[in-house]
Structure 1
Amino acid sequence: MSIGNSPDSPGNAPEDDRPSIGRALQQARIAAGLTVDEVSTSTRVRIPIVHAIEADDFSRCGGDVYARGHIRTLASAVGLDPSALVAQYDGEHGGRPAPTPAAPLFEAERIRPEPRRPNWTAAMVAAIVAVVGFVGFTMFSGNDKPSATRSVAEGATATAPAPKPTPTKTPVKPADPKPDPTDSAIAAAPKDRVTVKMVATGSKSWVSARAQNGRLLFDGFLKRGESKTFTDPEQLDVVLGDADAIQLFVNGKEVQDDFRPGQVERLTYTKGDPAAG
C-alpha cells in the first residue's frame, strides 16, 4: 500500500487559475490598445500607481479603500467587470471591513450655528411704510376739519385762515433686490473657515474627509439624498469614490466639474476656494 495524498486531501485541491488582478488589468489594457499614459490621463490615476497595480503592488494606493477605488476605475477604463476584480481583491486581502458609523465621527464636527443677523432691509421698508402712512393720515385728517369761517358771527368780517403748507411726501426707497441663491449661500458660509458640503445625487457613493491635521472626519457611504458638511479652520482633504454621484458645495458655492461615473477624485480645499465655479 502506498502512502500519499488522497484525492480529497487539501494538497490536491484545484488551484485558482484566474490571473492576478494586476495581470488581468495589464492584459485588458494591452488588448484595448491603450498605453499606461493614456489610462492615467483618462482615469486621473497617477502613472506610478498604475504601474504598481499592474505589478500587484497595492501598497502605493494608500489603503484598501483607495485600492478598491483604483481597481474599479482602471477596470472600467479597460473594459473589465469592476465588481469581479474588487471581489477578487477582497478575497485576497481579508474581505471588506465594516463601514465606520457616521454619526459619532461627525458629531464632534457639527458646526455651531452663527448668531442670526438682523434683517436691516425689512426694517428699512417697514419704517418707510410707516412714514408714508403717517403723512397720508395727516393729509386726510386735515381736510375733515370744519372751516374757521363757519364759527364767525353773522355780520362780522371773516378773516381767511392762513394756507397750510403742503406736506412734502417722503420718497419711497425701492426694496433691495433679492440676492441670487448662490450669493446668499456664499454670504452664509463662515469667512474664517473652510466648509465643504457633500450631497449624494446618485444611488450610493463612498466618501472620505480629513482635517488639515490629518484627523479623519468621515469615512463611509452616502445614499441618495443624504448629505454631510465638514469644516476646518484652514484646509479639508476629501475623496469621492464615485465623483459623478456627489454634488459638492465649497464655502457655500457649488463646484461645477465634469466628473465621470465611477471616477475617484481626491480634492483639497481652503478658505479661498473656489475662485470660480
Structure 2
Amino acid sequence: MSIGNSPDGNVPEDERLFEEDRDEREAERISIGRALQQARIDAGLTVDDVSNATRVRISIVHAIEQDDFAPCGGDVYARGHIRTLARAVRMDPAPLLAQFEADHGGRPAPTPAAPLFEAERIRPERRGPNWTAAMVAAIVAVIGFVGFTLFNGGDDGDKTAVAEGSTPTTSKPGSPTPKNDKSDGDPKPDASDSAIAAAPQDKVTVQVRADDGRSWISAKDHNGRLLFDGLLQQGESKTFQDKEKVDLVLGDAGAIQLYVNGKKIEDEWRPGAVERLTYTKGDPEAG
C-alpha cells in the first residue's frame, strides 16, 4: 500500500503539482524581446529612434524583439545589445541579463592560463651580441653628430635665445607689452547660464537642463554626428554647440528646460512626451 503517491504509483502527488505550477509560471513569464518591445512602445519610440540613439542596426533591433539573438554574433555581443536597448527605453537591464544567462547557460567559462613551464619551453634560444651591427651603428651616430655640429655651429647664439624662451618683437623700447586678457579661439560651451548668454552669434548653442526629473536625451550636430546619448539625471545639465544646427530628441520633454542662443524656451511640454527639435543660429523662436 502506497501513501501520498499518484495513481500511477511513481511520482508523489505534491511533487507533480509543484512541477505543473512551475511550468505555468514559465509559460506566463514575458520574454526578453517582448519586454524590450513593450517598453519601447510605452516610451513612444520607434525602432528607427532606438537604432539612431544606440547605433544598433535596425535589423538587429527587430531580431532581438523577436527573441532571435543569432544576428548579434555571439552571447557577449547579445548581452551588450540587450543592455544598450534597455537603457534606451528606460528599463533596468539587470533582470533581462539574468534571464538571458539563465536561458543560454550563463557566462562562458574563462580560459585557463597557460602553465609557466610552457612559456619557458618556447623561449627563444639566447644568442650572442652582434658586434658588427653595433660598430656600424656607432660609426653612423658619430658621423651624424659631427655633421650636425659643423652645420649648426654658426647659429649657437640664436638657438640659445630661442631655447630660453625670448621672442623677437617690433615694439618700441620702453613701450609696455599689452596683456591678452581674452583667450584665443571661440569660447568653449559651459553649463552655466552666463556661458549661454555669452554664446557667439555665429554658432548655435543649446543648453539642456533636467529641472523637473530625469530624461533620456540625444543630440547631434549638423553632420549627424552624435554629441551625446544617455540619461540626464535631475539637476544635471548639458550644453551643445555647433556652427550650423543642433538636433535634439527628448525622451521626457516635460522634465527638461531649454536655453537656445541665450534665450529660454517657454514651450510647456507634457511629462513623458517625446519631442524632436532642431535649432539653428539666431532667434530660437524663428528657428
Same fold (TM over 0.5): no
- TMscore range, shorter length: 0.3 to 0.5
Query: Who wins on radius of gyration, i.e. which is larger?
Result: 1
**Normalized against structure 1, the TM-score is what?**
0.40
**Normalized against structure 2, the TM-score is what?**
0.39
Which has the bigger relative contact order, CA under 8 A and spacing at least 6?
Answer: 1
